[in-house]
Chains A and B, each alone.
Chain A
Amino acid sequence: MKEPVIVFDGVTKTYPYYGYITAGLKMFLFNLPEAINHTKKSFTALREISFEVCGGECFGVVGNNGAGKSTLLGLAAGALKPDKGTIEIKGRVSPLLELGAGFHPELTGRENIVLNGVLLGMTRKRVVRKMDEIIGFSELEEFIDQPLRTYSSGMVTRLGFSVIAHLDPEILLVDEVLAVGDINFQKKCMDKIMGFRANGVTMVLVSHSLDQVQRLCDRAMWIDHHEIRAIGEPAAVCQAYQGG
């Protein structure tokens, strides 16, 4: 058994209701008593979650919308802090954004590669060194020095995945980004993900495609109503999810 690299131990995450506050200072002050009351109440996104992911493992997470999957990834990435319980992460975490998030439409493809690469955890030098490889992978050589606003949405996602494909992750958090572009490019992406797997990258994969989870993952977890319902063999977990 390999060493666990992601350990969630009794993790609970709640969100206060911020509705009254984010509606603005005016709303807040004019409805002060209600607003204060409202903020004290909170919404539980994850309750008492405990699981481990071992080094080199591909771990799938399935569940309905709003079950708490994205919160789980946010916690693993370190963007959120749990209210209760502990999270232990060993290694460099690369969270995959929605493809193209963090891109700027006014910058060229090349400039966006540098920006995105650094935001995702590479040093500038490394991105520059990998530039040709990234551009080659994206098959966007002709357009790479054009501003991103002239790209089609398919081209933007292709560029986004190309940057990700050349990260050097230890732990990869993937949130629904595997269906990208045309059939050929999808195959290329899948090969790359398989390549990460073969190289021993730990992956946490949130997906609605049960087929994908069964094909890629070593283990899977089903989250329902903010709690773990099943954890174990992908086939069994997916079956339980479909049945439940």
Chain B
Amino acid sequence: MDALVQNFSYYKDLVLVLTAKEIKVKYKNSLLGYVWSVLNPLCLAVVFYFAFKFVMKVPVENFTLFLISGLFPWQWFSTSVNASITALLGNASLVKKVSFPRYFIPLATVLNDTFHFVVSLPIVFGFVVFYKVHLTAAWVYGIPLLMVSQFFMTYGCALAVSALNLFFRDLERLVMIGLTVLFYMTPIIYDMSLVPEGFRQYFLLNPLFGIIEGWHSLFLRGHVDWGLYLVSLLQSLVIFGVGFALFKKLSWKFAEVL
């Protein structure tokens, strides 16, 4: 029991320093680290606004806020998955020689982007206030709840991608394509009301759908869509379970293939 507590406090330290490393490195490359982490989704929002609202006149109300509330969570997911591709490769010397639970390495990657998501939330609040959408009490529990669901989903994907990439080193290209497909298959730049009715149910197969729609409903309409939330949470937990099991199964081979 004592050893368990000791292990726990050591593992907590381990996750802490690994995550702190990721965050510090990102911020150290430039003093403008914070600006960089919000600039990307903001730029995307501007570009999509130009293309879809200004040029193509998509009939979505509050399109700017709509884009913002989908792009920031998307950024969290996609940068995490992207960074996890090389997470284990980049820590080869540790994986080969030290025996600590390897799932801490992709965990640090995901926590890094979780941190960036949290610090970029005030920007989203700013837009919400600017567009005079009400801040409601649902935000207080809605944000953490949605973050839990998205965290498990993201971590599950990160585990699977980081483990598989050690074995198939060209997985990177596939992940890139996969992320692009996923981006356009998720209602981030278009609203579900524009999707042909007979096709809408298929969106439930996309595990990001429930999460992104959840963010939309929270930021645009100020409430949590419980049914959708539970579906998305269930999907996230399944993905996390599969990712974790796969990672666990392969993790004994990591030191061999590196």
Chain A interfacial positions (CB closer than 8 Å to B):
15-16, 18, 21-28, 73-74, 77-81, 93, 95, 97-98, 101-102, 104, 106-107, 111, 114-115, 118-121, 123-125, 147, 175
How many angstroms from the CA of A227 to the CA of B80 in the assembled complex?
A: 44
Contact B17 A118 (CB under 8 A): yes
Q: Which residue from B24, B96, B168, B169 sits with its C-beta under 8 Å from A111?
A: B24
Verify if B93 is at the interface (C-beta below 8 Å from A).
yes
Contact A24 B170 (CB under 8 A): yes
Contact B170 A26 (CB under 8 A): yes
Verify if B139 is at the interface (C-beta below 8 Å from A).
no
Stretch of B129-137, B224-232, B249-257 contacting A (4+ beta carbons < 8 Å): B249-257
- New A-B contacts (10) at CB < 8 Å, excluding given A74-B255, A125-B13: A16-B256, A21-B167, A81-B252, A97-B93, A102-B91, A114-B17, A115-B21, A119-B98, A119-B100, A123-B13
Which 3 pairs across A and B sit closest by C-beta, in order of nearness?
A: A24-B170, A78-B99, A101-B93
Verify if B9 is at the interface (C-beta below 8 Å from A).
yes
Contacting residues, chain A, for B17 (C-beta < 8 A):
114-115, 118-119, 124
Contact B29 A25 (CB under 8 A): no
Q: How many residues does chain B have at the interface if contact means C-beta atoms less than 8 Å apart?
A: 32
Contact B168 A28 (CB under 8 A): yes
Take A118-B17, A123-B13 as given contacts and tell me if A18 and B257 are in contact as well, using a CB distance cutoff of 8 Å: yes
Contact B93 A21 (CB under 8 A): no
Take A15-B256, A74-B97, A77-B98 as given contacts and tell me if A21 and B168 are in contact as well, using a CB distance cutoff of 8 Å: yes
Take A22-B169, A104-B21, A118-B13 as given contacts and tell me if A97 and B252 are in contact as well, using a CB distance cutoff of 8 Å: no
Nearest chain A residue, comparing its CB with the CB of B95:
A79
Take A97-B94, A119-B98 as given contacts and tell me if A107 and B170 are in contact as well, using a CB distance cutoff of 8 Å: no
What is the minimal beta-carbon distance from B17 to any residue of chain A, in angstroms?
A: 5
Q: Is the interface of A mostly helix, strand, loop or mixed?
A: mixed
Contacting residues, chain B, for A121 (C-beta < 8 A):
10, 98
Contact B252 A25 (CB under 8 A): no
Contact B170 A119 (CB under 8 A): no
Contact B25 A106 (CB under 8 A): yes
Take A18-B256, A107-B28 as given contacts and tell me if A123 and B21 are in contact as well, using a CB distance cutoff of 8 Å: no
Contacting residues, chain B, for A26 (C-beta < 8 A):
170
Contacting residues, chain B, for A74 (C-beta < 8 A):
96-97, 255
What is the minimal beta-carbon distance from A151 to any residue of chain B, in angstroms?
A: 15
Verify if B14 is at the interface (C-beta below 8 Å from A).
yes
Nearest chain B residue, comparing its CB with the CB of A25:
B168
Q: Which residue from A24, A106, A115 sits with its C-beta under 8 Å from B169?
A: A24
Contact B99 A106 (CB under 8 A): no
Verify if B51 is at the interface (C-beta below 8 Å from A).
no
How many angstroms from the CA of A114 to the CA of B95 in the assembled complex?
A: 18
The proximity string for B residues 1-41 relative to A, scoring 1 for CB distances below 8 Å and 0 otherwise, is 00000000110011011100100110011000000000000
Contact B167 A18 (CB under 8 A): yes
How many angstroms from the CA of A61 to the CA of B9 in the assembled complex?
A: 34
Contact B24 A23 (CB under 8 A): no
Contacting residues, chain A, for B205 (C-beta < 8 A):
none
Q: Which residue from B9, B94, B171 sits with its C-beta under 8 Å from A119?
A: B94
Contacting residues, chain B, for A119 (C-beta < 8 A):
14, 17, 94, 98, 100
A18, A102, A118 pick with most chain B CB within 10 angstroms: A118
Nearest chain B residue, comparing its CB with the CB of A81:
B252
How many angstroms from the CA of A10 to the CA of B152 in the assembled complex?
A: 41
How many angstroms from the CA of A74 to the CA of B16 in the assembled complex?
A: 25
Nearest chain A residue, comparing its CB with the CB of B14:
A118
Contacting residues, chain B, for A78 (C-beta < 8 A):
99
What is the minimal beta-carbon distance from B109 to any residue of chain A, in angstroms?
A: 14
Contact A107 B174 (CB under 8 A): no
Contacting residues, chain B, for A18 (C-beta < 8 A):
167, 256-257
Q: Which residue from A79, A101, A124 sits with its C-beta under 8 Å from B99?
A: A79
How many angstroms from the CA of A172 to the CA of B227 in the assembled complex?
A: 54
